[in-house]
Amino acid sequence: MEKELAIITGADGGMGQEITKELARTGYPIIMACKNKQKATPICEQIKKETGNRQIEIREIDLASLTSVNAFTEQLLKEGRPISRLMNNAGILTTPIRKTEDGLNTIISVNYVGPYMLTRQLLPLMHSGSRIVNTVSCSSIIGKIELKVFFEKGKSGPFFRIPIYGNSKLALHLFTQELAKQIQEKGITANASDPGIVNTNMITMQAWFDPITDLIFRPFIKTAAQGAATAVHLALSEEAKRKSGCCYVNCKEKKQSKRMQSHPFQRILWEETEKLIRSKGFHL
């Protein structure tokens, strides 16, 4: 039986390539959802060659632009192809203070609002047995949601990218848990994958101490393949087939704290994100 569509955001990045390879080897037709088609093209061709899967295509999406996300989903909705796997893998950890065309903090848009909108708009194409996997982070433990400033600044006070990154990943984690509740009756699962600290370009701090941190820490952290393994497990394994609303680390379910299980901002953040996206003129 032919498999249904798998969509992988950030498929041209370190972990994204590994996730794409594993799903391609299993026979999924794949859309590599990438910001830069030119960069992604040689990667796509190499994956086709390695896996023998020719059903891989690239489509551009910029998660820092709600207009781009909407265009991406509108095309898929017109085509009506059923989606079996949605891998929200893309993420950024930028240094300069930047706002998107929608007036959002760039880290918050790419790591949270964009994936939220993408997922919500694509739900009509999913069915019982479909799986959604969101890549979160161990940095969410330091996350804090301040609704008054969250979307536009990421946090109150001066700009520091690590806390804002942690806040964005906490938001994605809370979205995963709330989404799991909302789609439970449809038989669609949503889980969070925490890859740990992975040896990719994202962790480069673009600062004078980079060579020192490279020397000390990089030999001890995960390769891109090791980091991607948990997301692949959630996408493909029988063990995770009926799991939903969970967070996995090293391919195993992680026990969540009571506060995370019943976080006071989980439902509120869902509602505020809905309001934000609709206020920008987009449907959910």
List residues with catalytic annotation.
165
Angle (CA) 237 201 173, round 5°: 45
Q: Nearest CA to 79 among 65, 59, 62?
A: 59
Of 48, 69, 54, 95, the closest CA to residue 201 belongs to 95
> Which contiguous run of DSSP H or E holds residue 87?
strand 83-88
Please return the burial class of 206, using the count of CB atoms within 10 Å of its CB with bins 0-12, 13-18 and 19+: exposed
Q: Report whether 63 contacts 99 (CB < 8 A).
A: no
Between CA 171 and CA 111 the distance in angstroms is 9
Distance CA(156)–CA(69), nearest Å, equals 27
Q: Yes or no: say if 90 and 13 are a contact pair by the CB < 8 Å rule.
A: yes
How many CB atoms are located within 10 Å of the residue 242 CB?
Answer: 8
DSSP class of residue 96? S
d(CA 8, CA 120): 15
Residues 6+ apart with CB under 8 A from 142: 162, 163, 166
- Of 70, 277, 239, 88, nearest to 173 by C-alpha is 88
Angle between helices 266-279 and 161-182 (to 10 degrees): 100
